Copies of this chain bind each other. A is one copy, B any other.
Amino acid sequence: MIEKLKKEVLQANLDLVKYGLVTLTWGNVSGIDRSEGLVVIKPSGVSYDKLTENDMVVVNLNGNVVDGKKKPSSDTPTHIELYKAFSEIGGITHTHSKYATIFAQACKEIPCFGTTHADHFSGKIPLTRFLTKKEVEDGYEKNTGKIIIERFKKLNLLLIPAVLVAGHGPFTFGKDAAESIKNSLVLERVAEMAIGTVQLNKNVKELLKYISNKHYRRKHGPDSYYGQNDSGDKE
C-alpha cells in the first residue's frame, strides 16, 4: 500500500515539471495513507530529473522518518500539520508557480472573475496573514501550517482546495496527490487570467453568484453532470 502511494507521489511530483509549475526544486507534493497514518513526500532539494520511487521519504504524523534514506522536504512539518487538521484530504501540493505566487506576493486574494474559476473553486482563493516574528523563529514550517488552518476556520476546504500564504506561495489540496496537483495547475491558470482581467478592466466585478454556483455544481456534488459517470473523472 505504501509502495503504491510512493508511486503516486513520485508521479505527482514529476507532473509539476510536466505542467510547468516548478523551477529547479521549488515545489513538493505529498500523499497520506490514512489507515497507517503515514505520509509520503518528496526529499528535500533533489532535482526532479533524478527523482526515483526510492527517493520518496515516508514520515509518520510526528514527523519522524520511518522509511527512506533521504531527508524529507523542509516543508514536511507544514504538510503534517495540514493532514492532522483536515481529515478529508489525501494529498497536498506546494509550489512557487508564477501567477499564484504573484498574488501571494502582492497580498491579494484571487477573486472569481469567470466560470473557469467557478468550475473548480467555490469562492475567492483565500490569503493567510503573515507569520509573526515569534512564529517564524519557533517552528516556522509548522506555523505555516497553522496559519493556513486558521484561514480556513470559516471556510470549507473541500469547496476551495487552495490557499495563498502571504509573501510566499500557494498550497493546494485534493483527495489524493494527483488531485492536489491538478488543483495547483487550475489555480495557476485562474491566477494568470485574473491578473489579465484586472489589467483590462479595473472596475471588473466578481462573477454573479448564481452563475458561479451553477458552474461549481455542474462539476461537484450530488447534482454534478460533467464528465463520465464510470470514471469519476470530473476534469
Contact = CB atoms under 8 A, between A and B. Distances in A.
A36 interface: no
A74 interface: yes
Interface string A195-235: 11111110010011011001000100000011111010111
Copies in the complex: 4
Interface in A127-172: 130-131, 133, 136-137, 140, 167-169
B47 A197 contact: no
B133 A169 contact: no
Nearest to A198: B200
A204 B105 contact: yes
Interface residues of A, number: 67
A44 interface: yes
A175 interface: no
A211 B47 contact: no
A48 to B, nearest CB: 11
Interface in A100-125: 101-108, 113-116, 119
Nearest to A23: B189
A29 interface: no
Interface in A19-66: 23-26, 43-47
Nearest to A214: B136
Contact of A115 (B46, B169, B225): B169
